[in-house]
Chains A and B, each alone.
Chain A
């Protein structure tokens, strides 16, 4: 049998179900490798002892009807987990232990999964390189001093380094798809309203969506099937008929119409990305899809729109971290002084930057010029997609405008950092599902991803397209375990 940690999720499920391996063996294997991989700094909180205990319990009384029987999974530290510290990558929640469980994580435990620990991420999911975390930056297993992307950087790194068989992240403007693209893994952002936001530390409520990250498309479908559920505790959760994504997964995409938006050919896009995209178009054709040129005319406004809407919501969502009820508190001479010190010391500089941007764009006198206008543009962007979907079934784009960069390279240049999200952000603004699949390497050997964007609630379709293309692309991640001495 191959090394346990190299097995895909579906292989692990099969091997556990057929009793070839126990949950305890699997759990221990991932823990052992995680212990050897501390250099990557993927974990904020390890829950290894508890995981082994749970694995033993599963083995003693196994239920093989579950979808994730005894499978250990580490999750992004943005999901509140009962009795396990949840920090959102921030000092302000450094000591916060929830008494409750997020719906998404509850869904995976209900299907037999076991929590390995909480994975590093950008502070409050604000970042594209995992450099804004209070708990230090995460390194990519792809190369030394390379960022794994963000904000679900710990998740992407842990997944690519085989420290967890699959993981879940959150995606507000690309936080699943961009790190998936940077680490040669698969990441799906489901339709807004597909996964409950209950118990997920909020960044920008109208954009946030949890989603699966995995080694391959099939695993992605399995996990999405588990985490997507209608939840009365989230008023924006949508009660649509959810498919059995893994069961209905099909490589037959003959006749599917795939749109290529001309506006995604941005100025200064590296040749490698251009070539990757063309390669993707050819693969899609090989799979039997029909390629159609489309236009999404307002794409160019997506990034500025996003950087108004998301900070605006964040500035309000983060107001609750005031030192009064829970989390970090600094001593102050009076209430205002306590607020100021708590929030200046408790939040990192990127979070503070966005809170300030958000406060500014909502201020009276600026609201109409910024927030209101951004909402109007957001509608135009949504309409662009609606128009396009009259002609096509899905849209194919690169996931990111470049491959992963070195740690520190863009840290002091927020705008250049924000540009990372240029292809992913429109999808969040329109509330659509998007999946990033690994499709090739740049000349440095770093992975590059392609994004398939679907119609609302049409996850099955983009999973099928990804599944079909995955076979043709036949991507192999080049990971040399450089961090293990």
Chain B
């Protein structure tokens, strides 16, 4: 048992409860076409414009597996350090709903394409391993729209048949923060692999959250509730918090927890019952007779393994070794593949005399602040890695000061301008000529004789006044280090 402060425990009277969480993440496979048809998967198209006869389940239509989606699932399995099953089976999950045209969802039940694996989380108190139970491929359903027509429900089948990966974790998570870290890590891995864009707003990533509680130290699991279809990390955290407390309250009142499916109400910030175990669907799973078992060869898997890019955990290790980054800095830089790419581009373009520390500071400082304020992804950065690397080199070689660099940075935003050009045009080059600076300082001392005497008499804080005057007189361009040296000498 860890004894760290960030442990998530619920206290009631003398009892301490811990929460046990398992996630079923539904990740949309990045693929131009659907799992069993050639329809487009593009987000945001007009309703029912991306629907084939297969997607709409017309009589006599048959599914044909999209090999690309199979590759994506296997790659994801490799990224999760998981066992790839050479033989997997597609099953039909039968239920009726208006946006489920076949009357069944093609999924994988007994024999998923990917078996057990693991994911490493970087928590403030150290690393934590979360087990993966399985990953399977399945079709998404369409969308029922209840709020356009007062009398009818409308159905949009654009999503019908889109490939999803359901990634099931073991019940290894113990706090909302771990859930957040887990989702972020999964998303990061899949984005590195290019197998899921992880866009939660567009529904590319959502999760069913299984929550139970137990007295701290207990080995037995409590009765769990499943919170269906939560589509943001924040909501997951709030839902878990609410649900765990609800369950603890029930136990404290001596009541039983019903195993049930619940919904998270994002407006009221609470979970509520959707259906009990007794009302649970009987999905009548059976192997889809329209599809043969999916068999992949060792060569097929090996070929995919050889295409796997460097993943976040390895990249982090390399950044620490190669660039002498702190684990904290490395974690931030590898968290998203686009950030890592940007960082590596900056580093490469800085050339031989590179100052990596400076680059890290500028990226995680000024650049992140800029992107945050404009609500942009790093891939949309108004400043290219190339120009940022030039700017950093200008600081490093003394052409401009860090302070001037911030002014230059502001100008660069407008059209990704070359910082050298800005420095030249705006005359921002640092004054580093000792003779010119000496003359400038002589004049300042002359103009402020009284203050110079006061300084000599021990009023040391006046040193700052002279630095300020020198910077002002040079319009901020004077090399602050030189100014310091000359002032010390002259005063």
Interface residues of A (CB under 8 A from B): 79-80, 86, 88, 93, 96, 98-100, 102, 197-202, 204-206, 232-236, 312-313, 315-316, 318-320, 322, 324-326, 335-336, 339, 359, 362-364, 367, 371
Residues of B within 8 A of A312 (CB): 286
In the assembled complex, how far is the CB of residue B107 from the closest CB belonging to chain A, in whole angstroms?
Answer: 13
8 A Cβ contacts from B26-81 to A = 53, 56-65
Q: List 21 A-B contacts (CB under 8 A).
A: A80-B59, A93-B59, A198-B61, A205-B289, A205-B290, A234-B62, A234-B64, A235-B63, A235-B64, A235-B290, A236-B292, A320-B57, A324-B98, A324-B101, A325-B57, A325-B58, A339-B96, A359-B284, A362-B284, A362-B285, A364-B284
**Which residues of chain B have C-beta atoms less than 8 A from A96's C-beta?**
59
What sequence of 0s and 1s flags, for each residue 91-114 of chain B, a beta carbon within 8 Å of any chain A beta carbon?
010101110011110000000000
Verify A325–B56 contact, CB threshold 8 A: yes
- Chain A nearest CB from B208 CB (Å) reads 20
Contact indicator A100/B53 (Cβ below 8 Å): yes
The answer to whether residues A316 and B57 also contact, given A234-B62, A335-B153 and a CB cut-off of 8 A, is no
Q: How far is the CA of A252 from the CA of B97 in the complex (A)?
A: 57
Q: Say how far B154's CB is from chain A's closest CB, in angstroms.
A: 11
Say whether B291 faces chain A, with CB atoms less than 8 Å apart: yes
Once the chains bind, are A201 and B284 in contact (CB under 8 Å)? no
State the Cβ distance, A437 to closest chain B Cβ, in Å.
29
Is B425 on the interface with A (CB-CB < 8 A)? Answer: no
Which chain B positions have C-beta within 8 A of A80? 58-60
Contact A319 B62 (CB under 8 A): no
> Across the interface, do B103 and A98 meet the contact criterion of CB distance under 8 Å?
no
B60–A206 CB distance below 8 A: no
Whole-angstrom distance from the CB of B137 to the nearest CB of chain A?
15
A233–B62 touching, CB < 8 Å: yes
A86 touches B59 (CB 8 A): yes
> What residues of chain B lie closer than 8 Å to A200, measured between beta carbons?
60
Contacts of B98 in A (CB 8 A): 324, 335
B278 CB-CB contact with A under 8 Å = no
| Contact of B291 with A235 in the complex, beta carbons under 8 Å | yes
A204 neighbours in B (Cβ, 8 Å)? 289
Q: Nearest Cβ in chain A — how far from B404, in angstroms? A: 65
Closest to B90 in A: A235
The reply on B460 being an interface residue by CB < 8 A is no
Q: A324-B101, A335-B98 are in contact. List 15 more A-B contacts (CB 8 A).
A: A98-B60, A99-B53, A197-B62, A198-B60, A200-B60, A204-B289, A233-B64, A235-B290, A235-B291, A315-B284, A318-B103, A320-B57, A325-B101, A335-B153, A362-B286
- From B58, B97, B155, B291, name the one whose CB has the most chain A CB atoms within 10 angstroms: B58
Contact assessment for A313 and B59 in the assembled complex, using a CB-CB cutoff below 8 Å: no
Residue of B nearest to A371 (CB): B286
Question: Is B60 a contact partner of A202 (Cβ separation < 8 A)?
Answer: yes
Q: For B64, give the chain A residue with the smallest CB separation.
A: A235
With contacts A325-B101, A335-B153, A363-B284 known, is A320 near B59, CB below 8 A?
yes
Q: Which residues of B contact A202 (CB under 8 A)?
A: 59-60, 290
**Is B282 among interface residues, defined by CB-CB distance under 8 A?**
yes
Whether the pair A316, B92 counts as a contact (CB closer than 8 A) is yes
Report chain A residues within 8 Å CB of B285.
Answer: 362, 367
**Contact B58 A98, beta carbon cutoff 8 Å:** yes
Q: How far, in whole Å, are A198 and B54 apart by their CA atoms in the complex?
A: 11
Partner of B62, one of A235, A336, A339: A235
Minimum CB–CB distance for A117 against chain B, Å: 18
Partner of B60, one of A197, A319, A335, A336: A197
Which B residues are CB-close (under 8 A) to A79?
60
Chain A residues with Cβ below 8 Å from B53 are 99-100
A312-B286, A362-B94 known; A102-B60 Cβ under 8 A: yes
A102 to B92, CA, bound (A): 23
Look across to chain A and name the residue whose beta carbon is closest to the beta carbon of B155: A324
Given contacts A98-B59, A233-B64, A367-B286, contact A320 B102 (CB under 8 A): yes
Q: Are B62 and A316 interface neighbours, CB within 8 A?
A: no
Contact residues in A for B63 (Cβ distance below 8 Å): 235
- Among A86, A235, A364, point to the contact of B65 (Cβ < 8 A): A235
Bound complex: CA A318 to CA B92 (Å): 13
Asked whether, in the complex, the Cβ of A316 is within 8 Å of the Cβ of B284, the reply is: yes
**Are the CB atoms of A319 and B94 closer together than 8 Å?**
yes
The closest CB in chain A to the CB of B54 belongs to: A233
The CA-CA distance from A233 to B291 in the complex, in Å, is 11
Closest to B103 in A: A319
**Contact yes or no, A316 B59, CB < 8 A:** no
Measured CA separation A371–B61 after assembly (Å): 24
Interface bits B131-162 vs A (CB < 8 Å: 1, else 0):
00000000000000000000001010000000
